[in-house]
Structure 1
Amino acid sequence: MESHTKEFSNPDNLPSESLTLLVSDAGVVRNVNAIDPYWVDKKDLIFYERPPSGSERVFGAIDNWKSKMEPYLEYLQALLQMEHHRFWSTIIYHKQCMDTLISFLQEADPPYVPPHENPDVQKLYEEIRKHILIVFSRLVTNKESKSRWLTKEYMGEIMYERFIFTVPVLWDICLTYGCDNPRHVSRLLQTVFELQPQYRADVMHALAFVKEAFKYIILQVNKTYESEEPPNLPETFKGFGEIKRPTDSKTETISFRTLRDLVLHLLDTAMTLRLFVEVYPESVELFKKTHFVLSIVQLYEYGIPNLCTTLQAVGDKTSIQYTEVEGYIELARAELIDLFKEILAVYKNAIFSGEGNISTTVESYLSAMLEALSERLFVADYHACWPVTDDIDMLKQAYPDIDPVKTDFILQAIYSNIDEPVPEETIANTNPVPNGHVETIDNPGPSKDNEIPDNIKEESLISEVKDILPHLGDGFILKCLKHYGFNAERVINSVLEDTLADSLRALDRNLPIVPEDPLDNHFLETGVQRLNVFDGDEFDIMTRDDVDLTKIHVGKRRDKYKNVSQLLDDKSEVKSRIDIYSKYNLVCDDAAMYSDEYDDTYDSDGAEPPSATADPDEVRRPFVTPRALAQYNRREESDEESSEEEAPKAETSRNRMNFCTNPEELRARRAAAYRPRGHAPRPQQPSRDVIGKPKGQGQEKDVLANRDKKEKHKSSRANHNRRQGAQWKRSQGMMPS
């Protein structure tokens, strides 16, 4: 029978769970609830299937998959176009609706799987992936308009009782969309946990199950199948006795396929938990209550190394599958380290921002670090990736009352594991900043950021973006920064959410930085084309009007001095400073020196005015005998009185009163000492000038004669007589004949 409804009407703006609508069924008008099975279109739905790839790609497999998934996409679009009451009635009362949505989350490719090689398949997969996220986003939206809405209490109850959201569904959403849509997934999870707080208890049960799964992985790779004895593990591994091996595998060794399944399960779990902590930081308290950090450390210590050992034992190193599984193990190892980093990051962000009780948060951080110290391998690898000393220093500045005993114990334990001494500056007491805030200055000086060159700022911003997106090229990042006003956060957000501008989408994401050509900039400024590499320099008279002509020399350049003698004989520099030294010899006249206020108490009695013929130096500063020579002067005066008639000494005799000997006399004595006795001094060789004057000015006769003599006798020196030298070497037996 055909049924139809009247136009949707809700004049009182009642919630949909309390609203009734008038419907006409075969001419009978009756009231039907807005949320009722009456609005459900009862038809079988299609479940999502993973696209064929690799060995599964047989002839026609791609077309078959597309023929199934296109109706699946059309149903998602129709579901989103439904009215509010029809949408919720279908979600609640259709038995297959939630199953068909969850089927995509279960079969979707994780982030570490590369895209499909067929572009049509990948495009259809991305469309389905987008619509699934929109559907789950609508499921957490309680109010679409004033007349179409649900109360939060009813919505939270329906979500929990009808299993619309479960912890596995939330974790699958994190794994599927957490990498490229973290903010959207974060808002979705925040809304779910606010609508229904009972999910927090479910998360704790799920974490307990994950801990048992980790124990099972460790047991699989630590116990041999031939032995019935328990694995050689520490006593801290409680609960291993409850885990039993399959009965049909007691006498068989672990297979490569089983090992691959274990590695993939470990990788999916580690990546899911890391993304879950990243998008929902409040979950850290649940990890703390279940002591999940201890399970991470134990899995890293006793699971990862044995997985590698087992892979080498059962795998073929020449196969592609071996390399693939080996890469998955390394990726799982990195995800476990990043999971612990994200847990600590939540505590650090709360401490630095001052949210909540800082002392409690600091103690939670230290408790997590102490749990990580239970094994050596994990904390050593974590410290190599993210130094703990930096975190401890920042915590000391943000919270001065931090327990120094615990911090010192953590640092000493870490450095003892890596066999290195603890840095002294880390242990030394520092002056922390109170409450984690920087002291402000009333009159701050000019910012030093303006003094940093632009290229240094660009490199800093590029490195900041590459820390998050290392696969992008420097040139592509620089163009994105210029487009978004050098805002690194906007660039990262646009790339992750795939909302780049159209001009940036067309660029190659591996684009490097190409330095700008200064001559190209010169051409843009002046309009002069590039002719050679010297265009635009300081001597380019085509583009410059202030060329320094003193630096330009036409013709053959000649040095100012030919030899060292001419350089020493040149006194022009000394003569140019005569006027400077002459100022020290100026003497003021008596009128200028006289002053009524002059104190002549200590002037010598009976001092005579200077005579006109007196030495200016003596007038300016009378000679004063040093005290060291005063006694010698007295003896000299007494000798002069006793021998006034004695003849004066010759002027050439050496005076003992001289403080230094005349350099001219020293040079004469040194020359006489080195001169051979009975031989006259060697005459000085005349200078043989062969350079002469510049070309075009004519040459002197001596210069021409010197040039001719040099030309004639040049074979007697240097490297001009090779034949004679070669013959002499042969005669001495130094060369084979």
Structure 2
Amino acid sequence: MSTPLDKKQVPFDDSSGKRDHLPALHPKWLEKMVFVAYTLPPTDITDRGQYEQWLERLKFIAEDLHWLLQLPHDKFWCQAVFNESLLTLLDTYLRFSPRSYDVIYDLPNDGRERHLEVHRLVFMTCVRMATHKESKDDHITPNVFGDILYENFIFDVPKLLDLCVLYGNGNGALLTKMITNIFTQQPKYADDLRATIPTIIQVLENTQDMCGVTSSFAPEKLAKARSKDPRLFTMTIKEFQDVIFYLADTAITISNFLDVYPPAAHIFHEFKFEQRLASFYEGIVPEIQAALKVREFETMSHKRLLKQKLHQSRKSLQKIFHTILGHTCIEPVLEKGGEEVAENIEDFLHTMSAVLGERRFLADYESRYSFQEYADIMCQTSCDIDETQVQYIHDAINSAFATFGKRKKPKGAMSAGGRTSPDGSPGPLEEGAMGGAGALGGGAGAMGGGCAMGGGAGALGAGAMGEADGESMDDYSGQGYRGDVYQTEDYDVQGACAPRPSIIEIDSLISSVKDLLPELGEGFIEVLLEEFGYNLEQAINAVLTDKLPPSLLDMDKFMERETFEDVSSSLVDQRANVFDNDQFDIFRKENVDMNRIHQGKRADDTSLDDKSTVKQLKATYDAYGSRDQASMYDNLPDYEYDDEYDDTYDTNNIGAQDEDSAEELTARRPFVVPRALQTARGPKREEVESEESDDEKPARDEFVQDPAKIHEIAEQKRSGTHRGSGIRQQHDVVGKQKGHGQEKDVIKNRKFKEKNKAARGNHNRRAGADRKRGRGMMAI
């Protein structure tokens, strides 16, 4: 096996001519080369002197890096270890280079291409520095490689953070191998990260203090509520902008670092960083939102830029919380399963319980990451889970979302469904270098980062990150490298598939664009808005950055809007009716046949004379045996239909089978004299009914009574048993004992008594008193 670079000895002749040997990594073998430090592009592009000077600096940097990458393995590492100007160049570029998520410089094409070349070469240099084995012959002992990186400050934690934010979007897989190899070969970097996290926490607290918001993690929280002051509303616009830029740069940097190197989530979790992050979010984000709505800016584009930056900050802070929880609590549950994950589940529930007081954060977090998904994963394990605690957390999150939450809008793809890119080409937010919003500078990056412009890089075609890979690093041509595209941070926007707004909303959008770009025609603005799914920010951004879709490049920018005549001139025209556009709609039709409109029955209406349908029913009634019913329609008389005639019961065959005789009419029910027409001497109703119940015929009223009966009645009067003109009958209602059955007469008597009991006793005292009073028998 070949000798590693750290053990190689190179022979040479000293000044006395003697043969001697020196290590391959020695300052003696360093070729004299001074690398130029990187500087930001000039803010005033129109100043040709400064601009040409900056282009010349980029040219020198590109030439020097090309020369460096072409050096052999031993010569390259001599430059990397002993040439301080090279480390200065890399450090200045990583600190000050514009970021991929925030473009503030609109460079000409020559400056953009040259900067992209430097961007690509810096990444290749860092890849080669992070590789300890380029080939079988060119390699370094792993543990020595880690010491070389650490002792010579070739990489440190701030540089790794800047690498992630600059190149993480386009070259995440390769960057993950790089950083993983660095942390694997030198464990001291993990200790440095642990020492860096308290500094990051202090950065967040300083940001809160700058905004006048006291941290909720402060000990005084138990004694008093979180204090606030109007500092965000009174500070200058530049200070307010720096706060938002600083917050966005810090949040996106940490988020990208955790995406590139997931094991770092465990180190952040040791410091309960996610809990402090939720508290920080709850304290500062709502305050910045409120101040952003109230404060006035010189231009609307400035305000929209700050809104975009704040949105990126919120999204990145939520993603950090989600990533830490996912790698420390959720992924072990999915990978291990069984009883081994009880500690992870308990840790997850404890973390969520600790942030239940941060209701605004929970509402925003729930809109992107559902707690129910976490609960479903935990319930699928065999561990005993405190369902009461899970339900309590779920209810608290739902309550917070109901108060402060907002559902995420459906996302529309800019490359689908529109006229711009039917072939799936990238949309305006994804294409072109330095695609972004605004022309405002400023904003320092956390941990040494800068702001604006920047790009993603694609996968390098070569490069092994360890001995096991064994791939060659000889090819540095950049095959597959995405250095020509500066990617922007993905954020929620409505794409071309968004529903079309109303005419009033379109007029408002056109007016907003017209205020910023008065030289554009309203017709061009309308087509532009339609092209970008009526997204105002994207449409204005495309015009300002000169990145119009291909379908609009040849269109006249001064085209006026087509005007349409408003047909809704009255409330009648705006009505919605089921009879719209029918043959009698006089509001929408000019030619209506007035001959078909009449009042009442038409004299020439012969539609009722047609009895063919009625006669066809005869066969149907014959089939079901209803001959008599059908016979009604056989010989219908010809008559003129009368609208006033009530024919509701014409089809009922009433009395058709009766013979109108008096005896048959009274056969079902005997005639009873109404109570109001009965005389005092007439028979009482109950006596008649009693006689009917006994099936006895009434006695004939004889003109001359039998003397024997007269004497009998007189005797009964004297004994007090006489009532009226007859003998009071006794009706048996007692009957036999219960369970021995009852006779038919007893049952009838009981029914009669129940029915007529109100006619006797004390039930009619009021009616009797009224009757006497009416006859004048009582004094008033």
Larger Rg: 2
2: distance between equivalents of 1:261 and 1:676?
A: 96
2: distance between equivalents of 1:321 and 1:204?
A: 38
1:97 aligns with 2:82: no
1: distance between equivalents of 2:2 and 2:215?
A: 67
Q: Of the two structures, which has the highest relative contact order with CA contacts closer than 8 Å and spacing of 6 or more?
A: 2
Change (3 A) 1:512 1:210: closer
How far has the Cα of 1:133 moved from its partner? 1.4
1:407 aligns with 2:390: yes
2: distance between equivalents of 1:52 and 1:667?
A: 104
1: distance between equivalents of 2:272 and 2:495?
A: 46
2: distance between equivalents of 1:418 and 1:672?
A: 77
Q: Paired residue for 1:473?
A: 416
- The counterpart of 2:372, out of the listed 389, 393, 411, is 389
SS at match of 2:48: coil
Q: Deviation digits for residues 102-158 of structure 1, max 9, x if unmatched?
A: 211111111222374422222222221111111111112112233322111111112
2: distance between equivalents of 1:149 and 1:20?
A: 14
How far has the Cα of 1:673 moved from its partner? 8.1
If the length of structure 2 is used for normalisation, what is the TM-score? 0.52
How far has the Cα of 1:385 moved from its partner? 2.1
1:342 aligns with 2:323: yes
- Pairing of 1:5-24 with structure 2 (within 5 A): 13-24=2-13
How far has the Cα of 1:672 moved from its partner? 5.9
2: distance between equivalents of 1:285 and 1:149?
A: 31
Change (3 A) 1:309 1:668: closer
How far has the Cα of 1:670 moved from its partner? 5.0
- The counterpart of 2:133, out of the listed 112, 137, 143, is 143
Give unmatched runs, 5+ long, in structure 2. 223-230, 404-409, 426-455, 461-478, 486-493, 498-609, 641-780
1: distance between equivalents of 2:133 and 2:639?
A: 119
- Pairing of 1:671-710 with structure 2 (within 5 A): none
Q: Paired residue for 2:334?
A: 352
Q: Paired residue for 1:487?
A: none
- The counterpart of 2:355, out of the listed 353, 372, 397, is 372
How far has the Cα of 1:501 moved from its partner? 13
User: Does the 8 Å contact 2:248/2:309 carry over to 1?
Assistant: yes
Q: Deviation digits for residues 459-486 of structure 1, max 9, x if unmatched?
A: xxxxxxx98x9444368999679xxxxx
1: distance between equivalents of 2:389 and 2:302?
A: 46
Q: Paired residue for 2:28?
A: 38
1:155 aligns with 2:145: yes
Q: Paired residue for 1:52?
A: 42
2: distance between equivalents of 1:512 and 1:235?
A: 47
Code of the aligned partner of 2:365:
Y
Q: Paired residue for 2:632?
A: 669
1:322 aligns with 2:303: yes
Q: Deviation digits for residues 348-402 of structure 1, max 9, x if unmatched?
A: 3332233894333333333332233231110011112222123312331245533
2: distance between equivalents of 1:161 and 1:221?
A: 39
If the length of structure 1 is used for normalisation, what is the TM-score? 0.54
Change (3 A) 1:671 1:398: same
1: distance between equivalents of 2:142 and 2:624?
A: 110
1:171 aligns with 2:161: yes
2: distance between equivalents of 1:511 and 1:298?
A: 33
1:257 aligns with 2:246: no
Q: Deviation digits for residues 601-649 of structure 1, max 9, x if unmatched?
A: xxxxxxxxxxxxxxxxxxxxxxxxxxxxxxxxxxxxxxxxxxxxxxxxx
SS at match of 2:84: coil
2: distance between equivalents of 1:471 and 1:408?
A: 40
Code of the aligned partner of 2:287:
N
How far has the Cα of 1:308 moved from its partner? 3.2
How far has the Cα of 1:272 moved from its partner? 0.9
Give unmatched runs, 5+ long, in structure 1. 1-11, 224-230, 240-249, 421-465, 482-493, 514-562, 575-657, 678-737
How far has the Cα of 1:256 moved from its partner? 2.2
User: Does the 8 Å contact 1:23/1:31 carry over to 2?
Assistant: yes
How far has the Cα of 1:335 moved from its partner? 1.3
Q: Deviation digits for residues 64-94 of structure 1, max 9, x if unmatched?
A: 2111111101111111111111111111112
Q: Paired residue for 1:703?
A: none
2: distance between equivalents of 1:93 and 1:401?
A: 59
2: distance between equivalents of 1:45 and 1:355?
A: 54
Q: How many residues align?
A: 451
- Pairing of 1:535-550 with structure 2 (within 5 A): none
Q: Paired residue for 2:270?
A: 289
1:112 aligns with 2:112: no
1: distance between equivalents of 2:622 and 2:612?
A: 28
SS at match of 2:133: coil
- Pairing of 1:584-733 with structure 2 (within 5 A): 662-670=625-633
- Pairing of 1:564-575 with structure 2 (within 5 A): none
Change (3 A) 1:393 1:419: same
User: Does the 8 Å contact 1:221/1:310 carry over to 2?
Assistant: no
SS at match of 1:60: helix
Change (3 A) 1:348 1:131: same
1: distance between equivalents of 2:166 and 2:244?
A: 19
1:83 aligns with 2:46: no
Change (3 A) 1:668 1:146: closer
SS at match of 1:96: helix
1:417 aligns with 2:391: no
1:209 aligns with 2:199: yes
Change (3 A) 1:399 1:146: same
Q: Deviation digits for residues 220-257 of structure 1, max 9, x if unmatched?
A: 2126xxxxxxx596745789xxxxxxxxxx9x953222
Change (3 A) 1:399 1:338: farther
- Pairing of 1:422-437 with structure 2 (within 5 A): none
User: Does the 8 Å contact 1:293/1:372 carry over to 2?
Assistant: no
1: distance between equivalents of 2:629 and 2:614?
A: 22
Q: Paired residue for 1:516?
A: none
Code of the aligned partner of 2:398:
Y
How far has the Cα of 1:171 moved from its partner? 0.3
Greater percentage in helix: 1
Code of the aligned partner of 2:58:
M
How far has the Cα of 1:30 moved from its partner? 3.0
Query: Percent of aligned pairs with the same residue?
Result: 22
1: distance between equivalents of 2:622 and 2:615?
A: 25
Code of the aligned partner of 1:101:
L
Deviates more, 1:317-326 or 1:280-289: 317-326
Change (3 A) 1:116 1:366: farther
2: distance between equivalents of 1:124 and 1:178?
A: 21
- The counterpart of 2:123, out of the listed 128, 133, 149, is 133
User: Does the 8 Å contact 2:458/2:480 carry over to 1?
Assistant: no
SS at match of 1:258: helix
Change (3 A) 1:413 1:399: farther
2: distance between equivalents of 1:194 and 1:500?
A: 26
